[in-house]
Amino acid sequence: MTILDKIVVRKKEEVKEAKARVSVAELEKSEFFNRHVYSFRDFLLNPARTGIIAEFKRKSPSKGIINDQVSVEDVTTAYAAAGASALSVLTDTDFFMGKTEDVIAARRVNGIPILRKEFIIDEYQLLEARAMGADVILLIAAILTPAEVSHLAAFAKSLGLNVLLEVHNLEELKRSIDPHVDAIGVNNRNLADFTVSVDTSFQLVEQIPNEFLKISESAISNTNVIKQLKAAGFNGFLIGENFMRQADPGKAMAEFVKGL
């Protein structure tokens, strides 16, 4: 079993437990459920911002603890002030040390799009994403059939959410592409074996139709790479560890963007 398989097994249990604990009617009554959702496209394409989707990530299966000493409010507001186009906040607890409350806390203090970074396998998690104040949801092609991608993307759109589809090879891209998706993210990290290569982004960019926003995800640690990715056609750059491994991730991002 790969780590991704393990995460999905655990996720199925979690979703079952959550459904038993909190009804859909309760989710629909939550304070953020009917709020205005920010447009991922507008923020990513705004030239006054950096295109960086800055991630709050305490821990990962590949790196272990990255940083569990900082607050989600401090870091995300500093990311936004440093020019982030959007925020990414992990909500998986067992593998990434994240939680629903992290998105809620980030939502209260930020006015830019928030991606609920989660392993989505069920419609219920999209209702949760809406309820916690997220604007963007992630669909990972490696764990979903094309029919599931299409169904979940359409349901997310019906809730007003933006959809980011993540692929890490041409086969996943070809089989999963769907008109309900807003953005396609090329993950430079293979979630099955953790190998990383930014070349994955350069190889796949030409194959992504231009109606989709193009995002390069993971293992981005210098501004020259961002310049090259931009020249190749990418609109967004998802960065986590490079900032989070510093004592002050917001300050690390502010320093980083000086090089753009």
The DSSP bridge partners found for residue 216 are 186, 237
Based on the shown chain and the rule CB under 6 A, indicate whether residue 240 belongs to the binding site for ligand IGP: yes
Residue of the chain from 242, 249, 250, 252 that contacts ligand IGP (CB under 6 A):
242
Q: How far apart are CB 224 and ligand IGP at their closest, in Å?
A: 16
Question: Among residues 174, 242, 252, 238, which one has the least CA distance to residue 208?
Answer: 174
Cβ proximity to ligand IGP, 5 vs 26, nearer residue: 5
- Among 166, 172, 178, 182, which residue interacts with ligand IGP (rule: CB under 6 A)? 166
Give the whole-angstrom CA distance, residue 127 versus residue 124. Answer: 5
Binding window for ligand IGP (CB under 6 A); candidates: 27-35, 101-109, 173-181, 234-242: 234-242
3-class DSSP assignment, residue 260 = coil
CA–centroid distance for 113 within its chain: 11
Q: Binders of ligand IGP among 14-53, rule CB under 6 A?
A: none
Which residues have a catalytic role annotated? 55, 57, 117, 166, 187, 217-218
Beta carbon nearer to ligand IGP, 66 or 112: 66
CA-atom Rg of the chain in angstroms? 17
Q: How many residues bind ligand IGP (CB under 6 A)?
A: 15
Identity at 218, one-letter amino acid code: S
Q: Using the rule CB under 6 A, which residue among 136, 181, 217, 235 binds ligand IGP?
A: 217
- By residue count, the chain amounts to 260
Q: Select from 105-113, 204-212, 227-235, 238-246 the region that touches ligand IGP (CB under 6 A).
A: 238-246
DSSP state of 99: -
Report d(CA 98, CA 21) in Å as an integer.
Answer: 19
Closest listed residue to residue 98, CA positions, set 59, 44, 143, 71:
59
Residue span binding ligand IGP (CB under 6 A) among the ranges 75-83, 169-177, 203-211, 235-243: 235-243
* Interaction between residue 187 and ligand IGP (CB under 6 A): yes
Minimum CB–partner distance for residue 175 and ligand IGP (Å): 18
**Tokens 């190749």, residue located:** 232
Burial degree of 69 (CB within 10 A; 0-12, 13-18, 19+) = exposed
Among 52, 72, 120, 219, indicate the residue that binds ligand IGP (CB under 6 A): 219
Closest separation in Å from C-beta 29 to ligand IGP: 29
Cα(191)–Cα(2) distance, integer angstroms: 8
Spatial CA neighbour of 32 closest among 156, 106, 131: 131
Instruction: Give residue for tokens 């059939």.
Output: 145
Residue whose CB is nearest to ligand IGP in the complex, by number:
240
Looking at beta carbons only, is 104 or 226 nearer to ligand IGP? Answer: 226
- Residue 117 contacts ligand IGP per CB under 6 A: yes
- By the criterion CB under 6 A, which residues form the site for ligand IGP? 55, 57, 117, 140, 166, 187, 217-220, 238-242
